[in-house]
């Protein structure tokens, strides 16, 4: 339990410090960073996965997802979400 609390605190710290990718152990989907890049709070680029999509983990709410995109595509959020604790990309 202590490790999980530390991971959540570290993820929030990285996001607040301006990190590009963070993981919220409690709500973030599994990430596969090898096939995508250029991930920000609002969008991410699928470099080489067959399909990938951007996500935002929201405090006290369900995660919000961008659309699935193919290689070379950009997945983006439909709007700017409040209380984002982490963000990233998930690949198929």
Tell me the per-residue pLDDT of 46-92, one tens digit each, with 9 for 90 and over.
Answer: 999 999 999 999 999 999 999 999 999 999 999 999 999 999 999 98
- The reply to whether the predicted model has a pTM over 0.85 is no
Domain ranges in the chain are: 2-91
Total residues found in the chain within this entry: 92
CA-based end-to-end distance of the chain? 29
Q: What whole-number distance in Å separates Cα of residue 64 and Cα of residue 62?
A: 6
72: left (phi > 0), else alpha (psi -120 to 50), else beta?
A: left
Strand partners, 58: 84
């Amino acid at each position: 339990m202590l490790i999980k609390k530390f991971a959540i605190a570290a993820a929030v710290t990285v996001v607040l410090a301006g990190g590009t990718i963070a993981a919220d152990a409690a709500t973030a989907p599994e990430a596969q960073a090898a096939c995508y890049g250029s991930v920000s709070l609002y969008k991410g680029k699928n470099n080489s996965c067959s399909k990938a999509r951007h996500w935002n983990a929201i405090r006290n709410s369900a995660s919000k997802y961008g659309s699935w995109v193919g290689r070379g595509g950009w997945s983006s959020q439909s709007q700017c979400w409040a209380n984002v604790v982490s963000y990233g990309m998930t690949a198929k």
